[in-house]
A and B are shown apart, each in its own frame.
Chain A
Amino acid sequence: MAQRPAWYQQCMNQAALILSIPILLAAWQFVSVSEIVNRVLFPPPTEVAVALYQAAKDGTLWRDVLASGTRVLVGYGSGAAAGIAVGLLTGRYVFVSNLLTPIFQLLRPIPPIAFVPIVVLWFGLTEFGKYFLVFWGVFFTVWIATHLGVQKVDHMLLRAARSLGTSEHNLLLHVIFPAAIPYILVGLRTSVSISFYTLVGAELAGAFAGLAYRIELAQQNMQTAQVMGGLIMLGVISALADRGFNLLSRRFVWW
């Protein structure tokens, strides 16, 4: 390869990038259509596309996306807001930290999905239960990122602010919070994917709409193409959320 010119290598690298997904689809199509595997259990991408198209046409797809999206948005939004607020307080005030940190450190390691059964007991199959689970998954990650971010704020920055006459509450709002934003964003980004994990757990436990609910329903009816379509939609939405977040975070850390 070393003797080949540089432009050739660049072209090959570019081609590999462009062809990556088409090669996967082609291989998948071939394996399914040639019946190397059971076509009912492993339908080709064309069938999956048709299943997605039909779901889009009859509206179930959009209803599912809306239901799942709302759960993620509400749960993530409230969990992130609470995580930041509590993290600012525990990071700044030893008293609050001593009061809450032991409790949080006890609850934090428990996988959020493990709470699904008890949440179903408490709230049934309501939307509130779903919000709660996503909230639960997001809260601890954002809380600990904020808590650490606050503690890592350059103490000289705090000295500078205080010698400029900054009151304690302004210090928290105008200095500590912005200074901790880079750390907070790491927590917020990690919890985007966490919110989708918990969403799936919550919907599998029982729901009346939603992408993971649709996947489970299709599985029971042996509609494998629909199952795969649902998986792809989850992947696409989750990836879009991550991308969108990345764009947003660049606007919030402009310095």
Chain B
Amino acid sequence: MRLVESPAPLRPARPRHSSWTGKGHIAIKELGVTFGETAATLHVAVQDVTLDVPPGQFLVLLGPSGCGKSTVLNVVAGFIEPSSGQVTIDGVVPDGPGADRGMVFQQPTLFPWKTVLDNVAFGPLMTGRSKSAAESEARTLLEMVGLTKFAARYPRSLSGGMQQRVGIARALANYPKVLLMDEPFGALDSQTRAMMQENLLKVWNEFRITVIFVTHDIEEAIFLGDRVVVMGTAPGRVIADIPIELQRPRDQAVLFDPNFTRVKRQCMDLIRIESLKAFEQQSEQP
């Protein structure tokens, strides 16, 4: 219950955690990615994508499957080399993947032989922290995602949602400038997904780092993002860039906000056109 109805700022107080210094500026410039070697197998996954993501922004890449949204993310992560154009983080072209960009995948991809605590402590350990420092860092993160009690367990004994929370804690344990999330809740049931979204916003509120979140779920995109970038297929490209003017902190009530439903309708129309196009193209192929 709120006693004072003052308009909450769009970007509330400074984050408590993290070394938030206004870093994590992602600039994607005329990015093109082409797969395949010969003319027959040539496939343009992404064409001419330009995005400027200011530090601390929660950007969602939304689009139907095959629109190249994950490809864009993988270029920013350093897993894929761009065919044309470039990506810079704070003005620097990254040399492959690195600890400055935390990554959360669709599958939790935890190390099955490590305990939950050791999974989260792995990043700090690999970036030169002492074992005790890495473990205390990991405990802080596990508390944030509400998994303190499971620190000694092995990933296999955790539910999918819990595993993914460990994945988020692990990605944040290095205090990265940027958090990249590739459909992290895509494999979860809708109830769990809703809980995960709220938890993610809560944790992000502590860090306020730049996020690029990839999803094909329209409601998820609007619920989470400061900004939703809609991508179209064949070739993958940006077709809309929509600022989301919903107050934070957000909870599920925001789903009934007129602003929310307006943007949802707009996104549905855009994606429907793209999906139809992709569907027809698939039908044409022999």
List the interface of chain A (C-beta within 8 A of B).
154, 156-157, 159-167, 170, 174-175, 178-179, 181, 254-255
Q: Is the CB of B123 within 8 A of A164?
A: yes
CB neighbours of A181 from chain B (8 A): 113
5 of the cross-chain contacts (CB-CB < 8 Å) are: A163-B97, A164-B126, A165-B99, A167-B126, A255-B112
Smallest CB-CB separation from B79: which chain A residue? A159
Q: Is the CB of A160 within 8 A of B109?
A: yes
A157 is contacted by which of B77, B111, B154, B174 (Cβ under 8 Å)?
B111
Q: List 4 A-B pairs, minimum CB-CB distance, nearest first.
A: A165-B99, A164-B123, A163-B103, A165-B127
Assuming the contacts A178-B113, A254-B113, asked whether A163 and B107 have C-beta atoms less than 8 A apart, the reply is no
Q: Is the CB of B126 within 8 A of A170?
A: yes
CB neighbours of A161 from chain B (8 A): 111, 122, 126
Q: Is the CB of A156 within 8 A of B109?
A: yes
Q: Is the CB of B105 within 8 A of A255?
A: no
- Chain B: interface size category: 20 to 34
CB neighbours of A159 from chain B (8 A): 77, 79, 97, 103, 105, 109
Q: Is the CB of B96 within 8 A of A162?
A: yes
Interface status of B56 (Cβ within 8 A of chain A):
no
CB neighbours of A255 from chain B (8 A): 112-113, 154-156
Q: Is the CB of A165 within 8 A of B126?
A: yes
Assuming the contacts A156-B105, A159-B79, asked whether A164 and B111 have C-beta atoms less than 8 A apart, the reply is no
Q: Is the CB of B105 within 8 A of A160?
A: yes
Bound complex: CA A71 to CA B101 (Å)? 52
Smallest CB-CB separation from A252: which chain B residue? B113
A159-B77, A161-B122, A162-B97 given; 8 more Cβ-contact pairs under 8 Å: A156-B109, A160-B170, A164-B99, A164-B174, A165-B98, A165-B174, A254-B154, A255-B112
Interface status of B232 (Cβ within 8 A of chain A):
no
Q: Is the CB of A166 within 8 A of B79?
A: no
- Most-contacted residue by chain A among B101, B102, B103, B155 (CB, 10 A): B103
CB neighbours of B111 from chain A (8 A): 157, 161, 175, 178-179
CB neighbours of A167 from chain B (8 A): 126
Q: Is the CB of A166 within 8 A of B113?
A: no
Smallest CB-CB separation from A164: which chain B residue? B123
- Most-contacted residue by chain A among B77, B110, B113, B156 (CB, 10 A): B113
Q: Is the CB of B107 within 8 A of A165?
A: no
Q: Is the CB of A163 within 8 A of B102?
A: yes
CB neighbours of B97 from chain A (8 A): 159, 162-163
A156 is contacted by which of B78, B101, B107, B126 (Cβ under 8 Å)?
B107
CB neighbours of A170 from chain B (8 A): 126
Bound complex: CA A157 to CA B107 (Å)? 10
CB neighbours of A156 from chain B (8 A): 105, 107, 109
Q: Is the CB of B170 within 8 A of A164?
A: yes
Q: Is the CB of A163 within 8 A of B156?
A: no
Q: Is the CB of A163 within 8 A of B101?
A: yes
Tell me how far the C-beta of B231 lies from the nearest C-beta in chain A, rounded to whole angstroms. 22
> Could you tell me which residues of chain B, from 164 to 191, have a CB within 8 Å of some CB in chain A?
170-171, 174, 180
Bound complex: CA A179 to CA B77 (Å)? 23
Tell me how far the C-beta of B97 lies from the nearest C-beta in chain A, rounded to whole angstroms. 4
Smallest CB-CB separation from A171: which chain B residue? B126
Tell me how far the C-beta of B170 lies from the nearest C-beta in chain A, rounded to whole angstroms. 7
CB neighbours of A163 from chain B (8 A): 77-78, 97-99, 101-103, 171, 180
CB neighbours of B79 from chain A (8 A): 159
Bound complex: CA A154 to CA B97 (Å)? 17
Q: Is the CB of B103 within 8 A of A160?
A: yes
Smallest CB-CB separation from B112: which chain A residue? A255
Bound complex: CA A170 to CA B96 (Å)? 16
Smallest CB-CB separation from B128: which chain A residue? A165
Bound complex: CA A174 to CA B122 (Å)? 9
CB neighbours of A166 from chain B (8 A): 122, 126
> Could you tell me which residues of chain B, from 7 to 41, have a CB within 8 Å of some CB in chain A?
none
